[in-house]
Amino acid sequence: MREPLLGTIPALVALVFVGVLLARAWGRGKAAARDRYAVVSGAVDAVVISSVARVLVAPQGMAAWGWAIGWGWVATCGAIGVGVAGACLRWRSLPWDAPARPDRAPRPRRRAVLSAVYVAAGAGIVVLVS
């Protein structure tokens, strides 16, 4: 009984992160990303967490759930693709840095470098868990 439960927890966490990516990329108002860094970090988070969840869910001995895991993985990848497409459409209209506090000056170069580091770290984690 514990194996299916242990397998569903990482899958649910991955779905939450994919939902956050979709909300940031396609959302309006408070759900929408304020800057490019939020979009990049949301996409990297969704990919890394989905990859880790795939590694954790598959070996749990859920042979009877094999078809659901396969289709769930395809659906997750499709949702990430939709989120990235929304991010691409919004990319030109977003600044690199939109400060949350009005008294702080924007630092677009720093945010661009942080985005590159975040993507590299995320790619490294995906390679390590795959």
Beta-carbon contacts of 17 under 8 Å, excluding residues fewer than 6 positions away, are 42, 45, 46, 49, 50
**23: part of which helix (H) or strand (E)?**
helix 2-26
* Mean pLDDT, contiguous 10-residue spans, the chain (130 residues): 65 88 89 87 89 74 60 84 91 80 73 84 83
Domain count, the chain: 1
Domain of 36 in residue numbering reads as: 2-129
Predicted TM-score (pTM) of the model is: 0.77
Using CA atoms of 69, 73, 74, 75 in order, give the dihedral in degrees to the nearest 10. Answer: 100
| Number of residues written out for the chain | 130
Paired tokens of 23: 């909300």
